[in-house]
């Protein structure tokens, strides 16, 4: 379970979030919507503890932002999969190596890595493209690779920051369907988006942000 | 274990991935090792020279006429316990007479009718002193014996040579330290440039839950591999130059250059690993702060 308790954060140059309260249950799919600069990315960064609240507390299972030690943050992040609008795939590594990276961090052996990565590539429909580098894949393919990389470590939570931002409507729709399928298997998902039309009819909870606050 | 294998493999792959920065990093360690290696050989040969000179240091002690040979034997046994004394040779009245004859060609007995030469002893000093030889305490110890009449020594010469040697060692330490510090900075900056171009990789690793050591590992391995490459290159350069020039130097100076290949390799390897490790660790640690 994720709990955001009266959290505020402000950047030196202005902006941020104030007095955010939000709880996400295990396996719940929540959309975070709002215009650019409304604080969606800040919330996600606070959740994977790239930023720490100036006030309030974030709790993710046994980890909380007030007491977590710096060296323990990697262990929290191993339970969280992060998907970005700009994919963040490594340009000097092929599709296989990109998806395999989290497994190496977790210490899987070579045979397991090969088996799990091939399975994952098959699931996202990119079989045969294992040795392709990111620049040889389309935007949709790169985003699927990014999702595969986030999912391969079997995270309990997925944080998706505008994952459809660079995708055409068909690819966006397929991505949402893929995330819904993952959510049904028990993974909590918080997906930030400013595309209301894409998410309005999906039947999930929608949290609306405006000027750094949750709109009631 | 799997993580360790991955870190090692990544480190080696990174050397190839970051070829251009590897060249400048290896070259800067190479130059450092050439300077340090050359200084090491100079230092080893200076040591050899100073040991040769120390071997020549002698203190001559002349005893009063009234002292018997038996008493001299007792006294020299005492002298041996003085710190810094290596060995003692007793020169009896008869020995002194022989030495006189061999040096001046005349028999002193036939000139004077008696032998006025006193019993003496020659004290040889230890040559493997950890620092400079100071003969003053030895002389003052010897002077305490009332049987001792006169002491001859090369105190000023010894002191001058030891002063030069001491200054030389100090300068060596300063030069090697400065060279190493410069090398650490150069490597650190080279690695920093590599790291800046690998920001995305580091960020991705951090986001998927890599610990600090997992992120640092491949960069440190990379730095160490640069060090190993530089060691091999600098070792063969130094040995090649020595092999080429030693006969030439011997012809000119009659000085046979001494060098221990295994020791040189060990020192170069230790320095390069140290510089490679500190340089890369410094760069990546600053970035991960």
DSSP states of A120-146 = HHHHTT-TT-TT--GGGS-HHHHHHHH
**Rounded CA separation B240/B191 (Å):** 30
Q: Locate all alpha helices (DSSP H) within chain B, ordered by sequence.
A: 2-17, 19-56, 69-79, 93-104, 108-112, 136-143, 155-197, 199-207, 212-253, 261-288
**Rounded CA separation A67/A57 (Å):** 10
**Rounded CA separation A132/B199 (Å):** 22
Report the CATH number of the B58-153 domain.
3.30.70.3040
Do the Cβ atoms of B208 and A91 come within 8 Å? no
Those residues whose C-beta lies under 8 Å from the C-beta of residue A191, and which sit 6 or more positions away, are: A29, A30, A31, A32, A158, A159, A160, A163, A179, A199
Burial of B177 (C-beta count, 10 Å sphere; 0-12/13-18/19+): exposed
User: Which residues of chain A are within 8 Å of residue B289 when distances are taken between CB atoms?
Assistant: none
Tokens of A214: 């949750």
Of the candidates B145, B157, B156, B155, the one whose C-alpha atom is nearest the C-alpha of residue B121 is B145
How many angstroms away from the CA of B215 is the closest CA of chain A? 9
Task: Tell whether A185 lies on the interface with B, counting CB pairs under 8 A.
Answer: no
Those residues whose C-beta lies under 8 Å from the C-beta of residue A130, and which sit 6 or more positions away, are: A94, A95, A96, A117, A118, A121
Of the candidates B245, B221, B178, the one whose C-alpha atom is nearest the C-alpha of residue B13 is B221
pLDDT at B132: 67
Query: Tokens 């929290």 — which residue?
Result: A76
Query: Residues of A numbered 50-69 whose beta carbons fall under 8 angstroms of chain B's beta carbons: which are they?
Result: 50
Q: In sequence order, what E strands does chain A have?
A: 2-10, 16-24, 29-33, 55-60, 63-64, 80-84, 157-161, 188-193, 205-210, 213-214
pLDDT at A30: 93
Q: Which residues, in sequence order, are bridge partners of residue A60?
A: A2, A63
Q: A146, A121 in Cβ contact below 8 A?
A: no
Question: Closest chain B residue to A150 measured between Cα atoms?
Answer: B208
Q: What residues does CATH 3.30.70.3040 cover in chain B? A: 58-153
Mean pLDDT in each 10-residue stretch from start to end of chain B (289 residues)?
Answer: 81 80 84 86 80 79 89 89 88 88 82 86 79 79 89 80 82 84 77 74 84 87 89 93 83 77 91 83 76
ipTM of the complex as predicted: 0.81
Q: A61, A1 in Cβ contact below 8 A?
A: yes
Of the candidates B7, B27, B9, B13, the one whose C-alpha atom is nearest the C-alpha of residue B226 is B27
**Rounded CA separation A165/A85 (Å):** 6
User: Which residues of chain A are within 8 Å of residue B17 when distances are taken between CB atoms?
Assistant: 92
User: Which residues of chain B are within 8 Å of residue A149 when distances are taken between CB atoms?
Assistant: 208
Burial of A169 (C-beta count, 10 Å sphere; 0-12/13-18/19+): exposed
Q: What digits encode the pLDDT tens for the residues B101-125?
A: 888 887 877 888 888 888 999 998 8
Q: Is the dihedral of CA A75, A80, A85, A91 positive or negative?
A: positive
User: Which residues of chain A are within 8 Å of residue B214 when distances are taken between CB atoms?
Assistant: 74, 105
pLDDT at A216: 56
| Total-model pTM | 0.67
Mutation target to probe the B interface, by most B beta carbons within 10 A, among A107, A117, A146, A156 is A107
Mean pLDDT in each 10-residue stretch from start to end of chain A (216 residues)?
Answer: 90 88 90 89 92 92 89 90 81 90 88 92 88 90 88 90 82 85 90 83 88 80
For B238-273, b/e burial (b = at least 16 CB within 10 A) is beeebeeeeeeeeeeeeeebebeeeebbebbbebbb
Query: Residues of A numbered 70-89 whose beta carbons fall under 8 angstroms of chain B's beta carbons: which are they?
Result: 71, 74-80, 82, 88
């Amino acid at each position: 379970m994720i709990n955001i308790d009266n959290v505020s954060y402000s950047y030196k140059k202005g902006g941020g979030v104030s007095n955010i309260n939000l709880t996400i249950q295990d396996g719940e799919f929540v959309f975070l919507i709002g215009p650019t600069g409304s604080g969606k990315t800040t919330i996600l960064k606070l959740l994977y503890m790239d930023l720490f609240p100036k006030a309030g507390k974030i709790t993710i299972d046994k980890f909380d932002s007030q007491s977590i030690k710096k060296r323990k943050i990697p262990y929290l992040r191993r339970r969280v999969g992060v998907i970005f609008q700009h994919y963040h795939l490594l340009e000097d590594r092929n599709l296989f190596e990109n998806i395999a990276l989290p497994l190496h961090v977790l210490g899987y052996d070579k045979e397991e890595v090969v088996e799990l990565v091939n399975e994952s590539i098959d699931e996202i429909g990119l079989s045969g493209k294992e040795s392709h580098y990111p620049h040889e894949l389309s935007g949709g393919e790169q985003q699927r690779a990014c999702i595969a990389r986030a999912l391969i470590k079997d995270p309990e939570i997925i944080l998706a920051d505008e994952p459809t931002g660079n995708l055409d409507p068909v690819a966006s729709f397929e991505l949402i369907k893929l995330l819904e399928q993952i959510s049904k298997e028990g993974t909590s998902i918080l997906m930030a988006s400013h595309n209301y039309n894409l998410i309005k009819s999906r039947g999930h909870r929608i949290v609306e942000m405006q000027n750094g606050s949750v709109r009631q | 274990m799997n993580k360790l294998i991955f870190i090692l493999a990544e480190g080696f792959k990174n050397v190839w991935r970051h070829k251009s920065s590897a060249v400048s990093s290896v070259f800067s360690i190479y130059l450092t090792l050439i300077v340090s290696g050359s200084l090491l050989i100079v230092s080893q040969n200076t040591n050899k020279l100073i040991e040769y000179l120390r071997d020549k240091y002698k203190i001559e002690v002349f005893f009063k006429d009234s002292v018997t040979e038996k008493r001299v034997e007792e006294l020299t046994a005492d002298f041996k316990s003085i710190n810094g004394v290596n060995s003692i040779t007793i020169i009896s009245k008869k020995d002194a007479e022989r030495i006189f004859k061999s040096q001046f060609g005349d028999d002193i007995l036939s000139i004077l009718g008696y032998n006025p030469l006193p019993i003496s002893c020659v004290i040889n000093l230890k040559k493997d002193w950890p620092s400079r030889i100071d003969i003053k305490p030895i002389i003052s110890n010897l002077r305490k014996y009332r049987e001792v009449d006169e002491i001859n020594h090369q105190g000023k010469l010894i002191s001058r040579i030891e002063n030069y040697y001491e200054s030389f060692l100090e300068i060596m330490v300063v030069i090697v330290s400065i060279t190493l510090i410069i090398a650490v900075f150069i490597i650190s900056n080279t690695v920093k440039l590599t790291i800046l171009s690998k920001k995305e990789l580091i960020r991705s690793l951090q986001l998927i839950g890599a610990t600090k050591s997992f992120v640092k590992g491949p960069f440190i391995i990379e730095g160490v591999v640069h060090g190993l490459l530089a060691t091999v290159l600098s070792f063969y350069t130094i040995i090649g130059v020595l092999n080429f020039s030693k006969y030439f130097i011997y012809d000119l100076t009659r000085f046979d250059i001494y060098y221990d290949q295994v020791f040189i390799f060990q020192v170069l390897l230790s320095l390069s690993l140290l510089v490679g490790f500190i340089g890369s660790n410094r760069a990546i640690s600053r970035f991960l702060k």
